[in-house]
Amino acid sequence: MTPTPSAPVPDGLSPATRVVALGREPAAPGAQVGAPLVLTSTYHAGGDVVYARTGNPTWSAFEAAVGDLEGGEALVLASGMAAVTAALSLLPHGGTVVAPDVAYNGVVSTLAEREAEGSAVVRRVDVTDTDAVVAALDGAHLLWLESPTNPLLEVAELPVLLAAARDRGVLTVVDNTFATPILQRPLEMGADVVVHSVTKYLSGHSDVLLGVVVTPATDAGRALAARLVTHRTLHGAIAGPMEVWLALRGLRTLHLRVERANANALVLAERLAGHPAVVRVRHPGWGAIVSIEVTGGADGADGVAAATRIWVDSTSLGGVESQVERRRRIEHEPAQVPENLLRLSVGIEDVDDLWRDLARALDRA
Ligand SMILES: *Cc1c(COP(=O)(O)O)cnc(C)c1O
């Protein structure tokens, strides 16, 4: 990890309190209260960090806060995909990875490329079929999980799968972007690595792209972290300090945003199930992403997305603003995703305003 300027916080505090307090410089008369934003490419010789591709105090502040939330040690990278690529660097050349057949399309495409060039063998599984996933683990090197999955919102039995992988010596990575550490902490369930697109809920304001990898604060976890640090330094996919500073500011309110967005999503999922233009609602009962299938196929779904006035018709998710997107309009979206599926990223607005806007768009479809 990057040497941290972060002042320690007292033990026994809840995560909501810790994430507000962490990543600040030690208290001293006249010291700044806000987190440091350090814009420099190099440092005076003689310190622990000599060049800013290997470390930055703003990274350290953010990493202290995210690491604490996930119960491990964090490394910030330039995007969620940079974090995915870093985590996949732990797969030996030509190694076998067990992965969901439908997941975030960047991960699906990366694995297909690795397979095509012969640098990985990919075993694709239905993550909801626990027995099938476990059966696929024998002789594998890495288990890649995403739960709930993007955009079908399928939930994997993480504790069972992570334990089965551990028994077989298979390294595990969990993409925790959809759940956030407020709702799910995979390291506590035995995962070796957690990855996030910080772009989504952690930063929460649709203004930066960033990623993070988190590893356990154990000897084994630190050995993985050392490899990930080397990857970050040598591949150069480092984060800009300004973006990281913005992400830390967003992270301070993660609890409030997740709480409100989840409450909104529960209400909307229930109301959507009763709307005649909605054929299917996917929502695991928690989290703030709801996927719906609507009547009228792809055109029907496009019409709904185009007719909303508050919901923003745009890709991405996890921001304060509610977003709607027909996923299959994206070129690389897996074909298993229905053409008429709209992914709703429920924001923190007034739930009745959100409902009226969506219901009006659905009525017109
Ligand atoms: C968006 C996303 C990513 C990729 O993150 P970027 O910040 O866009 O590079 C990875 N995993 C999931 C689940 C995502 O939603």
Q: What string of pLDDT tens digits covers the 365 residues of the chain?
A: 444 567 788 888 998 999 999 999 999 999 999 999 999 999 999 999 999 999 999 999 999 999 999 999 999 999 999 999 999 999 999 999 999 999 999 999 999 999 999 999 999 999 999 999 999 999 999 999 999 999 999 999 999 999 999 999 999 999 999 999 999 999 999 999 999 999 999 999 999 999 999 999 999 999 999 999 999 999 998 999 999 999 999 999 999 999 999 999 999 999 999 999 999 999 999 999 999 999 999 999 999 999 999 999 999 999 999 999 999 999 889 999 999 999 999 999 999 999 999 999 999 87
pTM: 0.96
Residue 86: CB within 6 Å of ligand 1? Answer: no
Burial label for 115, CB within 10 Å (0-12, 13-18, 19+), is: middle
104 tagged catalytic: yes
- Cβ burial of 106 (10 Å; 0-12, 13-18, 19+) is middle
Question: 354: Cβ–Cβ under 8 A, 6 or more apart, which residues?
Answer: 264, 268, 310, 311, 322, 346, 347
Q: Ligand 1 mean position to 104 CA, how many Å?
A: 7
Amino acid 117: pLDDT = 97
Instruction: Answer yes or no: 43 catalytic.
Output: no
Q: Is 4 helix (H, G, I), strand (E, B) or coil?
A: coil
Please tell me the distance from the alpha carbon of residue 103 to that of residue 99, in angstroms, as a whole number: 8
In this structure, the residue with its CA closest to atom 1 of ligand 1 is: 197
* Contact between residue 287 and residue 74 where contact means Cβ atoms under 8 Å apart: no
What is the helix (H) or strand (E) element at residue 145, kind and residue range?
A: strand 142-146
For ligand 1, whether the C-beta of 343 sits within 6 Å is no
Q: Is 104 in the pocket of ligand 1 (CB under 6 A)?
A: yes
DSSP reduced 3-state for 295 = coil
Distance CA(301)–CA(319), nearest Å, equals: 22
What number of CA atoms fall less than 13 Å from residue 243's CA on the CB side? 17
- CB distance 200 to ligand 1 below 6 Å: yes
200 in catalytic set = yes
Residues 294 and 304 sit within 8 Å (Cβ to Cβ):
yes
H or E element, residue 281: strand 278-282
175 CB less than 6 Å from ligand 1? yes
Q: Is 347 touching ligand 1 by the criterion CB < 6 Å?
A: no
Q: Residue 1 has what pLDDT? A: 41
3-state secondary structure of 279: strand
Closest ligand 1 atom number to CA of residue 317: 15
Check pocket membership of 199 for ligand 1, CB cut-off 6 A.
yes
Mutation probe of ligand 1 site: the residue of 150, 214, 337 with most atoms within 8 A of C-beta: 150
Question: Degrees (nearest 5) of the Cα angle 200, 206, 210?
Answer: 55
Whether 325 lines ligand 1, by a CB cut-off of 6 Å, is: no
Residues 61 and 20: beta-carbon distance below 8 Å: no
| CA-200 nearest atom, ligand 1 | 1
Catalytic residue (choose from 18, 185, 200, 257): 200
Tokens of 274: 């009763």
Q: Is residue 58 within 8 Å of residue 2, measured between CB atoms? A: no
Q: To 5 degrees, how large is the angle CA 184–CA 188–CA 190?
A: 110
Contact 331, 290 (CB under 8 A): no
Of ligand 1's atoms, which has the minimum distance to the CA of residue 198? 7
**Ligand 1 close to Cβ of residue 144 (< 6 A):** no
In the chain, what are the domains?
15-251 (3.40.640.10), 254-364 (3.90.1150.10)
Give the residue among 167, 170, 358, 357 at the shortest CA–CA distance from 277: 358
Residue 219 designated active-site: no
Residue of 88, 178, 184, 200 to test ligand 1 pocket, by largest number of atoms within 8 Å of CB: 200
CA angle 308, 287, 237 (to 5 degrees): 90
Q: Are 98 and 73 in contact (CB under 8 A)?
A: no
Choose one of 144, 153, 193, 199 to mutate for the ligand 1 pocket test, by most ligand atoms within 8 angstroms of C-beta.
199
| Residue of 197, 213, 317 best suited for mutating to test ligand 1, as the one with most atoms within 8 Å of CB | 197
**Of 43, 53, 129, 360, which residue is the catalytic one?**
53
150 lines ligand 1 (CB under 6 A): yes
